[in-house]
Amino acid sequence: MESNANTKTAGQSLWLDNISRDLVLGGGLSKLIAGSGIKGLTSNPSIFEKAILQSSAYEETLNALAAGNATAPEIYEALTVEDIQRAADLLMETYRASGGANGFASVEVSPLIAGDAAATEFEAERLFERIDRKNVMIKVPATREGLTAGLALLKKGVNVNFTLIFSARRYEKTARTYLEAMVWRRNNGLPLAGITSVASFFVSRIDTAMDRLLDETPAPARKSAAAALKGKIAVSNSLAAYETYLLLFSGPLFRELEAAGARRQRILWASTGVKNPAYKDTLYADELALDGSINTLPEAALEAWLNHGHANTEPLSQRVAAAKRRLTALKGLGINLEEVFDKLEKDGIEQFEQAYNSVISIIEEKRKAVSTFEAPPASGNKLPGEKLSETLENFSNSNFAGRLWLKDPELWKKDDVNKKQIAGALGWMDIPFKMLEKTREIESFALEIRREGFTHAVLMGMGGSSLAPEVLRSVFQNPKYPKLLVLDTTDPGWIALVREEIDIKKTLFIFASKSGGTIEPSSQFKYFWDLLKKSKTPEPGSRFIAITDKGTGLEKLAKDNKFRKIFTNPSDIGGRFSALSYFGLVPAALCGTDIRKLLRRAVNTADLCKTNEIIKNPGALLGAMMGTLALEGKNKLTLVMPEKLETFSLWVEQLVAESTGKEGKGVVPVCQEELSDPGNYQNDRFFVRVRLVSASEPEKEAKLEALKAAGHPVYEIVINDPYDLGGEFFRWETATAAAGAVLGINPFDQPDVQTAKTLTINTLARISSGERLPEPKPCFSSAKLSVFVSKALKTSAGCGDIAEYDDIFRCLFSALKENEYLGLLAYLPKTPGVDAELKKLRESVKTRASSATLMSYGPRYLHSSGQLHKGGPDNALFVILTNQAQKDISIPGEKYTFCQLEMAQALGDFEALESKGRRVLRLHLKHPLVGSLRYLNEGMLNTGRPGKNPGSKKSEGEESDMFKTATKRTTVKANGGNTLTESNEYVVIDYPKTLETITSRHYSVRISTQECSGMDVSIDDQPWQACRNSAGYWWFDWNNFTPGMHQLVARMHKKSGEYLISKRRRCKVV
């Protein structure tokens, strides 16, 4: 190529500023040596950090050293020594062919001892001897202490690469240090041949610093002169050093040394990748293609230079003279170059230290990750599932992990349509590695926002765009950073709460949408944009950023409205798999999260997920359990989180539900549900506990131990600190993909989500055309609520018509069958009062029915578990809760309001569920909202107690239909009225035990209670039958029953004439 020819003409050597085990072992370095003329290699801790993070090639050595109790610094040195030795061996032919002038591999001595000349000398000599290759250089910073150490090393015959040189003055000291060492060796009768040194002169960092200073030039008359110098100081400074190089190594002293066998200490241009996109990408390579020099380039800069670089061929004397004029002009602008150089050297040392500490911490984290995961017995894990071993064997035999990392779509489906869709949705696997390179960009932006005084950041997004930020906000919010608020709703009350909290002029709005057309954030954007315009905020676009895919409508909107920044996410990542992409990391950085640490933990787990030894693969193992247990009927994945990480379960809920709930199959994630005693659960649960090492939760641990003892499958994940969430994001993504393979479904599509969206849009179109919002006729209405029932629920056994208040609960519990779950879907404002009542209502349902309960806010759940509701198995009953907002908010540019939008979404989902034959109950609550929820909760608790339900028309003493009710509760008269009170009264079915298997055709049911006047039993909701009293217990002789599942309830007759009802007891007859 022409540029290569120019390089040869100029007499310059090209070195590579990069190394990795994959590059060395995979043939990449050999190709660069043979095809691109690479004649040497440089490295540093930052390069090794990237290599170790992004490649699994280090894992075997790292794990073996960790098993031998090697420390992180010892492991780092071992890994770098191996790589440098291999690189030096590949470069040995170049070394020999050049007579020892080229063919070197450079490695850096620990920067932590840069201020200690003696320690630097000792460590550099030791490292040189350990590598044991004559074509290796040890990099030593050219500080005062570094020059002292370098002089001693050169005297001992160690090849030295003096690094971190910024000024011509420091370069001259470095060159004279080399000459002094050669003189000493000559005078002491030591050979000069075979000793090589280079002086690494840094380039691009100088322009980065100087351009900033030139932009800050205050005097208007000097601004044009300052602007003319931008992008020219780095090259001018380098040319000044090059002139010194030519003078020193053509003078009489060096000629004497050269005659005695000494080589020139060549000047090496470092940091020649162009940082400023406004400059030509080969600027420094073009200008510094100088005779006798070396240019070390990262691969991208090397490729650009070989492709379209052109060496500057102007006479050197003219270029040096122009360079001196520019450097002189800086003094006229009041800029002190030496102060800039001193700061760059100081910053450079600190950056080297940070990079070294970073790679050491990464290795330490990898050591912990390996030791933590490879010890399941220590954490009490016993792998559950009767057929799990078969699944693990299938995964291993089919090379599941290897094919997953090859992104083989046939792991899930074999038809062309699915294969194409899956192939375009696997970018999440690489994203932790790729985003490491983007952290500086994200962190710089977060710092910019913080410096400008923003107090809040409001994220407008749904589903995958909002749930990961919600997790990271709740865990890592730093009070010194803008407070992050996640607004994933259309509820006007919720939006009003956010509006009241923020100062709109000091708030950054994050519009996050993969598709760019999501109706919820689009509506929120219109609202907040209008508020900013009305407040006469200059340049309102500067208060917005966008996170979206390339080519979306949001990208165009952001450009048209001059948003502050657009973060373009890779398009091969689905929303629910995007936690470790821009969608999660930008909001995380804005609220103060250390995203580098988060990503490093993700990379550690990703590396563990590459092994095909499934028992040691944290993601595939968890997925195998999820999928296998779901097929065995234990499809209620019950997530038990430490309090600090509670919101993480919401993210898992969306990931698992939307990914697996299709084709009539699915794993049902149950999150934020209080743990209960074993007898309160059916045989459909799989408990996964995430344990935070620093969190003490003895009560939770005791309940989990009881669940294990009762035979419920429990699996424990141990994390060391909250930043392990980075790894957990990746573990659960891999697990969900693996569970999808076990279930035989495509976990990367969401075929049933669009139905509700379409129905919502149709309703909004009718409103926009002037029609009123459709108002279906309720089945029952009272002062507190109105009731709407789907066709499938009306025809369910035991439900029928709802004509009065009690009928709601009769219908609810009669329709809920064995191993089914109930979903509470609340289109309500998320206020503390509403949230507390919803949690009570959920607990009441769980207690009464022993069924799994899901509680989600709408429309959030439409982008989360909505796919499971419609596409998963028909094993649920849904209760949609709506109400009319007291204060509505208009959506600028639309003919509907937020309240109308929210109601259209609720009605649309009701209709979509109904179209799928799902059992749905919609309860429209009236104001005051908290009071109506409390009223509903009391009705739930009082079900089955004569005369105790609010609004019940039945007289006291009249027998109600049978439902499960709470034990140790009764109703007593107080002040002339009936209230529910706590007491010591109880009634408990002792035998059969929960889910006991009965093999005979005669069984004596035993019931414990305190003194009472009588006892009845109802079996399978059939009429009450009297029991006999004997030996301190009540007994019922159960005969001639049929095989299958049965449920029993006991009713105690109190002396007051009231009843106390036991909990429902399930058993199996075979």
Encode burial over 430-443: b for 16+ CB neighbours within 10 A, e otherwise: bbbbebbebbeebe
Indicate the SS3 state at residue 476.
Answer: helix
Residues whose CB falls within 8 Å of the CB of residue 671, separated by 6 or more in sequence, listed in order: 639, 641, 649, 650, 652, 653, 854
Reading the block at residue 254, the tokens are 């060096």
| Cα angle for residues 369, 374, 378 (degrees, 5° grid) | 105
Determine the Cα–Cα distance for residues 779 and 93; give it in Å rounded to an integer: 88
Reading the block at residue 419, the tokens are 């294969």
Encode burial over 732-744: b for 16+ CB neighbours within 10 A, e otherwise: bbbbbbbbbbbbe
Q: Which residue type, as a one-letter code, is found at position 1002?
A: H
Reading the block at residue 278, the tokens are 């406004």
Indicate the SS3 state at residue 217.
Answer: coil
Determine the Cα–Cα distance for residues 845 and 862; give it in Å rounded to an integer: 22
Cβ-based neighbour number of residue 817 at 10 Å: 16
SS3 for 853-900 is: EEEEECCHHHHCCHHHHHHCCCCEEEEEEEECCCCCCECCCCCCEHHH
Helices 595-608, 725-743: crossing angle, 10 deg rounding: 40
Nearest to 689 by CA among 653, 714, 659, 670: 714
Encode burial over 361-389: b for 16+ CB neighbours within 10 A, e otherwise: ebbbbbbbbbebbeebeeebbeebbeebe
Asked if 387 is an active-site residue, the reply is: no
- Residue pair 717/591 in contact (Cβ under 8 Å)? The answer is no
What count of residues does the chain have?
A: 1070
Nearest to 604 by CA among 930, 373, 346, 850: 373
- Residue pair 507/454 in contact (Cβ under 8 Å)? The answer is yes
First to last CA, the chain: 82
Q: Give phi and psi for 76, each to the nearest 5.
A: -60, -45
Indicate the SS3 state at residue 1010.
Answer: coil
- Residue pair 943/816 in contact (Cβ under 8 Å)? The answer is no
Residues whose CB falls within 8 Å of the CB of residue 148, separated by 6 or more in sequence, listed in order: 117, 121
- Residue pair 626/463 in contact (Cβ under 8 Å)? The answer is no
Q: Which of 50, 139, 483, 846 is flagged as catalytic?
A: 139
Nearest to 572 by CA among 550, 599, 597: 550
Helices 725-743, 388-397: crossing angle, 10 deg rounding: 90
- Residue pair 616/373 in contact (Cβ under 8 Å)? The answer is yes
Determine the Cα–Cα distance for residues 486 and 505; give it in Å rounded to an integer: 18
Determine the Cα–Cα distance for residues 1064 and 1046; give it in Å rounded to an integer: 10
Determine the Cα–Cα distance for residues 377 and 548; give it in Å rounded to an integer: 43
Nearest to 848 by CA among 634, 1016, 666, 1047: 1047
Determine the Cα–Cα distance for residues 105 and 14; give it in Å rounded to an integer: 13
Determine the Cα–Cα distance for residues 841 and 411; give it in Å rounded to an integer: 41
- The catalytic site residues sit at 139
